[in-house]
């Protein structure tokens, strides 16, 4: 009696193990590959039916279109790789979503995007419960140190479907380190020698003004004739009013001169 019970127990255990194994091949059987490189980072929270790091192209589904990851990457040239994932119950029966892709952006300390990968991840395979893509998405040149890597959906605004995808990790391999050669400061060109001012041409000799013709000798004014001697005024003898009474004088008798006869 014990033997049949033992066999039955073994048989039940085998069936249960088989069932669990079959379930595993459907849900969470595929593990997203880890990323490699000189610098690597992981968003975490990745797993079947987990959407902690999920991004979509259509914001109406209630998920973000990008997700950030803190990191520390020195300036330089890098080859970037990443791994994308999407898995949930019933995904194999979901209509195809052809844009389950994203790009990686690199931000400096001020939050400015200083570089974006030239390629986006490939679309995840449809018709399966779990879709995974991993590979290189090109090189980037970081002009300054980077503190954030951002996974941004490559088709933001596409409302044909959710195009849901979860970035799992990234790896950055140094292609060429940052240039450290300090460019010597430009030699300051001494100021151009000041050309002495052109010899000042002495002012043209001023031609002495033409000899001034002495003014015509002024003819002295004609000698003014001395004024006619003014005759002294006739002494005015006061005329006496005389009442002349002419009295006839007796004629003086003329004496006859004796004549001598000879």
Cβ proximity of 82 and 142 under 8 Å: no
Using alpha carbons, select from 61, 127, 59 the residue that is nearest to residue 97.
Answer: 127
Stretch among 42-51, 79-88, 149-158, 223-232 having the lowest mean pLDDT: 223-232
pLDDT tens, 105-144?
A: 999 999 999 999 999 999 999 999 999 999 999 999 999 9
Phi, psi values for residue 186, rounded to 5°: -60, 130
pLDDT at position 251 over 70 = no
Phi, psi values for residue 171, rounded to 5°: -140, 135
Task: Write down the pLDDT at residue 48.
Answer: 83
Structure tokens of 213? 């013709």
How many structural domains are present in the chain?
1
Distance CA 62, CA 126 (A): 22
Distance CA 140, CA 118 (A): 8
pLDDT tens, 63-75?
A: 999 999 999 999 9
pLDDT tens, 167-220?
A: 999 999 999 877 665 656 666 666 666 656 565 555 655 545 555 545 555 545
Does residue 210 lie within any of the structural domains?
no
E strands within 92-200? 102-107, 113-116, 130-142, 146-153, 166-176
Does residue 224 lie within any of the structural domains?
no
Instruction: Express the helix, strand and coil content of the chain in percent, nearest 5 each.
Output: 10, 25, 60
Give the model's confidence band at 9: pLDDT under 50 very low, under 70 low, under 90 confident, else very high: very low
pLDDT at position 98 over 80 = yes
What is the pLDDT of the chain when averaged over all its residues? Answer: 75
Does residue 106 lie within any of the structural domains?
yes
Give the model's confidence band at 44: pLDDT under 50 very low, under 70 low, under 90 confident, else very high: confident
Residue 172: which domain range? 40-176
pLDDT at position 87 over 60 = yes
Report the alpha-carbon angle 25-26-27, nearest 5.
Answer: 105
Task: Write down the pLDDT at residue 47.
Answer: 79
Task: Write down the pLDDT at residue 120.
Answer: 98
Does residue 34 lie within any of the structural domains?
no
CATH of the domain at 165: 2.60.120
Task: Write down the pLDDT at residue 212.
Answer: 53
pLDDT at position 85 over 90 = yes
Does residue 234 lie within any of the structural domains?
no
Does residue 253 lie within any of the structural domains?
no
Q: For residues 146 and 25, which has the higher predicted lDDT (pLDDT)?
A: 146
pLDDT at position 39 over 90 = yes
Tracing tokens 């390629």 back to the chain, one arrives at 119
Stretch among 31-35, 54-58, 208-212, 244-248 having the lowest mean pLDDT: 244-248
Give the model's confidence band at 10: pLDDT under 50 very low, under 70 low, under 90 confident, else very high: very low
Distance CA 58, CA 61 (A): 6
What one-character DSSP code corresponds to residue 116? E
Does residue 124 lie within any of the structural domains?
yes
167 burial (CB, 10 Å; 0-12 / 13-18 / 19+) is: buried
Task: Write down the pLDDT at residue 244.
Answer: 43
Does residue 200 lie within any of the structural domains?
no
């Amino acid at each position: 009696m014990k033997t049949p019970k033992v066999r039955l127990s073994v048989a039940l255990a085998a069936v249960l193990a088989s069932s669990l194994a079959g379930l595993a091949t459907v849900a969470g059987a595929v593990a997203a590959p880890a990323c490699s490189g000189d610098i690597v980072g992981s968003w975490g929270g990745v797993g079947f039916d987990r959407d902690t790091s999920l991004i979509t192209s259509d914001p109406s589904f209630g998920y973000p279109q990008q997700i950030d990851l803190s990191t520390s990457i020195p300036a330089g040239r890098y080859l970037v790789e990443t791994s994308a994932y999407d898995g949930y119950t019933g995904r194999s029966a979901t209509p195809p979503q052809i844009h389950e892709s994203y790009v990686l952006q690199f931000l400096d300390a001020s939050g400015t995007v200083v570089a974006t990968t030239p390629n986006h991840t490939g679309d995840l395979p449809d018709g399966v419960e779990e879709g995974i893509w991993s590979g290189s998405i090109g090189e980037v040149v970081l002009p300054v140190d980077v503190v954030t890597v951002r996974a941004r959906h490559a088709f933001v605004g596409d409302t044909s479907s959710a195009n849901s995808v979860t970035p799992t990790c990234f790896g950055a391999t140094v292609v060429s380190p940052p240039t450290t050669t300090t460019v010597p400061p430009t030699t300051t060109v001494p100021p151009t020698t000041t050309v002495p001012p052109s010899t000042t041409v002495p002012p043209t000799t001023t031609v002495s003004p033409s000899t001034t013709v002495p003014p015509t000798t002024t003819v002295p004014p004609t000698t003014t004739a001395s004024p006619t001697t003014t005759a002294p005024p006739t002494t005015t003898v006061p005329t006496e009013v005389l009442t002349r009474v002419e009295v006839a004088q007796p004629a003086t008798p003329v004496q006859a001169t004796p004549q001598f006869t000879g």
